[in-house]
Amino acid sequence: MTPMQARTHGWLFALADGVGGQERGEVAARTAVESVLAGFRQAPAGEPPGTLLERLVQAANTQVYDVGKAVGPGGVNMATTLVVCTLRFDRATVAHVGDSRCYLLRRGHATSLTRDHTVTSEQVSLGVLSAGEASEAPTRHVLSRSLGNDLFVGVEVSEHAVLPGDVLLLCSDGLHGAVSAPEIARAVTHETELNAAAQALVALANERGGSDNISVQLIRVRNVERVGMYRGRPYKLR
């Protein structure tokens, strides 16, 4: 991405965790991320971040679906989770499908900016299960939606203000299924380098017997440029 593209589009980060068998899962995850990155580079300037991310994730879903159907007679089932985050000015826009998460780490606390699309998460939202019951339920890792299963998928999008010093963490359930939010916050706060923090988190998840793939991305916000609105036009706030 050129400096001009970063200025007009912001920065994009994506993480996918494939399901449906190791080989098929890897293909699905790689296809989804490559689709989002290519679409982001080609996106017209000025498209609202939320609209852009929803469009890109829907396109990635179609791409994964088509790849699965193109493999042999009748195709194969392949799917993946996906969490995508853009940073532009003082805003982080997050879109996700599945149970890969985005955390905001600020002043020693980790807050999840995403809601898991799992059967148990939906049951908690409906009041069928308590949070404690959901953590022990056998269906806690069963996805209620993912990319590649159908031609269309429900994409959840949210926007959040960011401050200098904030850290955003994208991860698969291999991490958040074994390491709690307070432990994530402590690990990132303890390490001065993000690479060291990521390695510490992966090591901790493995120590806990993490049986799933563990993927982690850490992004530090060094400075932000606030933007306000005047008669529908953006302007800088110093």
In 3-state terms the chain splits into helix, strand, coil percentages (rounded to 5) of 40, 25, 35
The span from the CA of 20 to the CA of 26, in Å, is 9
Q: What is the model's pLDDT at position 37?
A: 96
How many domains are contained in the chain? 1
Give the type of residue at 68. Answer: G
Percent of the chain with pLDDT over 70: 84
Percent of the chain with pLDDT over 90: 66
- pLDDT tens for each residue of 38-54: 999 999 988 999 999 99
**pTM (two decimals):** 0.89
CB atoms within 10 A of CB 152: 9
Q: Which residues, including other chains, have CB under 8 Å from residue 72's CB and lie 6 or more apart?
A: none
Q: CA distances (Å), 187 to each of 42, 196, 201, in order?
A: 37, 9, 7
Contact predicate 39/113, CB 8 Å:
no
**Listed ranges 72-86, 177-191, 207-221; the one with the highest mean pLDDT:** 177-191
The span from the CA of 236 to the CA of 229, in Å, is 9
Choose among 156, 158, 198: nearest CA to 174: 198
CATH number at residue 81: 3.60.40.10
Q: CA distances (Å), 144 to each of 71, 132, 183, in order?
A: 24, 19, 27
Q: What mean pLDDT, rounded, does the chain reach? A: 87
DSSP sequence for 13-76: EEEEEEESSHHHHHHHHHHHHHHHHHHHHHPPTT--HHHHHHHHHHHHHHHHHHHHHHSSTT--
Contact predicate 79/148, CB 8 Å:
yes
| Three-state secondary-structure class, residue 134 | helix
Structural domain for 123, as ranges? 3-237
Helix extents (H) in the chain: 3-9, 22-42, 49-70, 119-125, 131-136, 173-176, 181-190, 194-207
Alpha carbon of residue 200 to chain centroid: 20
In this prediction, residue 133 has a pLDDT band, given cuts at 50, 70 and 90, of low
- pLDDT tens for each residue of 25-37: 999 999 999 999 9
Q: What is the model's pLDDT at position 119?
A: 83
In this prediction, residue 138 has a pLDDT band, given cuts at 50, 70 and 90, of confident
In this prediction, residue 230 has a pLDDT band, given cuts at 50, 70 and 90, of very low
